[in-house]
Structure 1
Amino acid sequence: MDKPFRQGKLLLTALILVTVLAISACSNKGAGSGNENSLKVGTTDIQADLWNFIRDEAKADGLNIEVVTLTGQVDLNQSLADGDLDANAFQHIAYLTSWNGIHKASLAAADTTIIAPLGIYAKNIKDLKEIKEGAKIAIPNDQTNLVRALKLLESAKLIKLQEGFDAAKGGVDQIADNPLKLNIITAQSGMLPRVLDDVAAAIINNGVALQAGYKLNSSLYHENEADTAYINVVATTEGILKDKPEAFKKLNAVLHSQKVSDYIQTRYEGNFIPVTRQIDEVVEAFKKENETP
């Protein structure tokens, strides 16, 4: 009596195993692997309008883009690595490189999009020269943007960093010279506009500044718009890039079209700047800039 039962149990186990393997295979190929002319792209609410415009423009070229806006604590890179997305667009190449290193991953930069220069903003002063001795300066607390902020302060000649400043682990403890004895504090990026009443100035990510109503041209100082490390990219995986070459080719044409460039400049009023440099050149330049001597 128990032989048919055992055979049925073995068959059920085999069916479950086949199903799990099939799901796993689909996940590894990416979110939209069934259609070579479709891409599921994850982005943040800050860039959602831009990607909805890109989606509408791409339709004329036969490319179907599903825009997924993710907020809160969702890690867009982990969603991509897990196969829930075909691509994402929210980060600059320096952040992508850092994330890959931390997570031992190999997400790839597939295209360039915008650059969003980091700026020094203030409510009560109009010029860097008005920053007084002992003034409190707020900067982002995540490693990539903390390093970026310290470099911006150095570029503004407010501090000097140690020679050989470590971009991976560097912090305020690696400031070599602080002539104004500035009190540099850290805070979550999204909170920085709210602390402007309590500090002399804050270094605010461009997208966060835009949401808070601050325009780049109102900043006391901001990054060089051509800084390779902070060019935003479309990230994907090597597997998806290989499976969908035509989709990414069409995306490239739309991203760098005059219509999208005009939209970025009009919609974001100078806070986001369209990038014309192609991804291969940007990746190569970034590698050279970060080569260990």
Structure 2
Amino acid sequence: MQASALFKTFSAGALAFALAACGGQKETAPAAASAASQPAAAGAEKQEIVFGTTVGDFGDMVKDQIQPALEKKGYKVKLIEFTDYVRPNLALAEGELDINIFQHKPYLDDFKKEHKLDITEVFQVPTAPLGLYPGKLKSLDEVKDGSSVSAPNDPSNFARALVMLNELGWIKLKDGINPLTASKNDIAENLKNINIVELEAAQLPRSRADVDFAIVNGNYAMSSGMKLTETLFQEPSFAYVNWSAVKTADKDSQWVKDVTDAYNSDEFKTYAKQRFAGYKYPASWGEQAAAGAKAEAASTASAAK
């Protein structure tokens, strides 16, 4: 069963679970926070908001647009950037962060269940799609028996990688499997005898020198200087657009509403579409249907070459 069919049979539920992961250990100290000269926004429960993101595009969004917008409302903003997918959720649950932005919903759901965390998603953010990038081989036509492909090793993103390989026709997944939880046990046939090299997501850009192809998470691709135009194949699904997460008790707070408004403002949308062209945008922006059809058609055409 091709991945597009997998997602169609799984469709509405899968798309409702849309979100993408990255995260990790602290890499940098909090970005210098600008102190607002005016008092905190009227009705706000707090004066300072601490964001946690992975290094790269999500942090840039905060620094470039969200921090200035919130400071105009009287908030102070601090940013802590991480380099793996584990620490941001733990830091949120432990109170080191007020909000994090780095992950898709399948990852969040698995992580909070495993670690028994009371955190929840709030709004989606523009997200670079998972892509297959050239390594030692430069085109899809060059794939050969035994080609090596590096892929993210966390379960939710590894499932995405398997679905991409299925779409490409390099492996065949079992009929009826859940595309959000696919594992090596769900491979029915390895048609190209692909050697799948599992690595921490942050290591994938550097792995390109050692493998034939690399499946790289969008945020790490962008933060390493790679371009979406370099991809040989991109996942067409919108099931992995990333979300913000907060402690469940904070979900209806005024400050959360103010952050949500900043990410859905016309100013932020204009910025995102100029700075992050080729990304997948939040469903609430109302642009997924047309973009999704275009992306799926492009991916299908690319795989058929």
Is the pair's TM-score, using the shorter chain for normalization, greater than 0.5?
A: yes
Q: Which has a greater percent of helix?
A: 1
Corresponding residue of 1:249: 257
Distance 1:273 1:60, change over 3 A: farther
Does 1:80 pair with 2:92? yes
Does 1:48 pair with 2:41? no
Q: For residue 277 of structure 1, give the secondary structure of its aligned residue in structure 2.
A: helix
Task: Output the amino acid matched with 1:78.
Answer: L
Structure 2: state its 5+ residue gaps: 1-43, 286-305
Corresponding residue of 1:232: 242
CA drift at 1:130: 2.2
Q: Distance in 2 between matches of 1:72 and 1:189?
A: 8
Task: Output the amino acid matched with 2:167.
Answer: S
Q: For residue 114 of structure 2, give the secondary structure of its aligned residue in structure 1.
A: helix
CA drift at 1:63: 4.4
Matched residues, percent identical? 30
Match of residue 201, structure 1, among 190, 203, 213:
213
Does 1:162 pair with 2:174? yes
Q: For residue 197 of structure 1, give the secondary structure of its aligned residue in structure 2.
A: coil
The answer to whether the 8 A contact 2:172-2:188 is kept is yes
- When Rg is computed on C-alpha atoms for both structures, the one with the higher figure is 1
Corresponding residue of 1:262: 270
Corresponding residue of 1:60: 72
Map 1:4-43 onto structure 2 (within 5 A).
35-36=45-46, 38-43=48-53
Q: For residue 199 of structure 1, give the secondary structure of its aligned residue in structure 2.
A: coil
Q: Distance in 2 between matches of 1:253 and 1:170?
A: 35
For residues 112-151 of structure 1, the C-alpha deviation after alignment (integer angstroms, 9 at most, x for no partner) is 1122210000144443232112211111112121111111
Task: Output the amino acid matched with 1:35.
Answer: E
Structure 1: state its 5+ residue gaps: 1-33, 279-293
CA drift at 1:61: 3.7
CA drift at 1:162: 1.6
Moved over 6 A (4+): none
Corresponding residue of 2:141: 129
Q: For residue 259 of structure 1, give the secondary structure of its aligned residue in structure 2.
A: helix
Query: How many residues align structurally?
Result: 242
The answer to whether the 8 A contact 1:139-1:187 is kept is yes
The answer to whether the 8 A contact 2:126-2:280 is kept is yes
When structure 1 is superposed on structure 2, of 57-66 and 111-120 the one drifting more is: 57-66
Corresponding residue of 1:7: none
Corresponding residue of 1:277: 284
Task: Output the amino acid matched with 1:214.
Answer: M
Q: TM-score, normalised by structure 1?
A: 0.74
Q: Distance in 2 between matches of 1:97 and 1:220?
A: 30
CA drift at 1:50: 1.0
For residues 211-265 of structure 1, the C-alpha deviation after alignment (integer angstroms, 9 at most, x for no partner) is 22221121010112x513x1111101221124x2x22222222101232123223
